[in-house]
Amino acid sequence: MTRRRWIADEVSDNHASLTGAHAEHLTRVLRARVGQEFDIVAGGVLRHGRVAAIAENRVDFDLGEEIPAAVAANLTLLLAIFKFDRMEWAIEKCTELGVAKIVPIIARRTDAHLAAASAKRAERWRRIALQASEQSRRTTPPDIPAPLNLRDAVNLPGTLRILLAETEEQTTLRNVLETAKEAKEILLAIGPEGGWTEDELQMFQSAGWMSASLGPTILRAETAAIAATALAISF
């Protein structure tokens, strides 16, 4: 039987702990008991774990042998901020697919109230990514930094940097990925509702990004993020 996986909040030598709401879910919802066994990610390493003690808002584990684990794809998603409920869904699903990093971007067409609230929202995005990582049996959640303005985001480094744009009519994302299979680090930029503005497209082009499309149909931002992620990790 496959054991449930948890990413530890605290690690010390051969011991690890879940704390706060993280621990509460394990004890109250899943009704964990002392002696029960789980897979525990401790400091990025997957290990066998046995529940040693349960207290209010805390579960302690004794750690055993290391367990082989898959490595996340070296894929960074630059996600222009859009309606939070749909963005949270995209973050959850892209985490399950294996993206290594999700960078929230404040673009020209990002709604002003969403941009203003995004810094405080980032912690919730990280919790969603953590839960999705445990559910999908990842060893680490994707890194989700504080939101960046587009002018800073276009200068992020990467071996292959791809801008998904509705205006691109000749080059598809699949075409680009097929010709760059040896790329060590891929960055994908997904625009907001309404797409990128002309000056933003020019900004990406000036910074050396390649433009590509997902095909002739117009996709919602969350659909584009999930589809692009799924395609990129398959190469």
**Could you write out the three-class secondary structure of 80-148?**
ECCCHHHHHHHHHHHHHHCCCEEEEEECCCCCHHHHHHHHHHHHHHHHHHHHHHHHCCCCCCCECCCCE
Phi, psi of 217 (to 5 degrees): -85, 155
Pick the CATH number of 75-233 from 3.40.50.300, 3.40.1450.10, 3.30.70.1450, 3.40.1280.10: 3.40.1280.10
User: What pLDDT is recorded for position 72?
Assistant: 63
**In the numeric block, which tokens belong to residue 140?**
């680490």
User: What pLDDT is recorded for position 1?
Assistant: 54
Gap between the Cα atoms of 143 and 141, Å rounded: 6
User: What pLDDT is recorded for position 8?
Assistant: 95
User: What pLDDT is recorded for position 30?
Assistant: 84
**In the numeric block, which tokens belong to residue 168?**
């691109």
Distance from chain centroid for Cα 225: 11
For residue range 61-81, list pLDDT tens digits in order: 999 999 987 766 789 999 999
Gap between the Cα atoms of 116 and 11, Å rounded: 35
Instruction: Using a cut of 0.95, tell me whether the model's pTM lies above it.
Output: no
User: What pLDDT is recorded for position 71?
Assistant: 67
User: What pLDDT is recorded for position 234?
Assistant: 86
User: What pLDDT is recorded for position 4?
Assistant: 86
User: What pLDDT is recorded for position 68?
Assistant: 86
Q: How far is CA 84 from CA 89, 102, 116, 150, 184, in A?
A: 9, 14, 12, 18, 31
Positions of the chain with pLDDT under 50: none
User: What pLDDT is recorded for position 235?
Assistant: 82
Domain chopping of the chain, boundaries: 5-66, 75-233
The one-letter amino acid at 113 = H
User: For residue 36, what is the DSSP state?
Assistant: -
**Domain range 5-66, CATH architecture:** Beta Barrel (2.40)
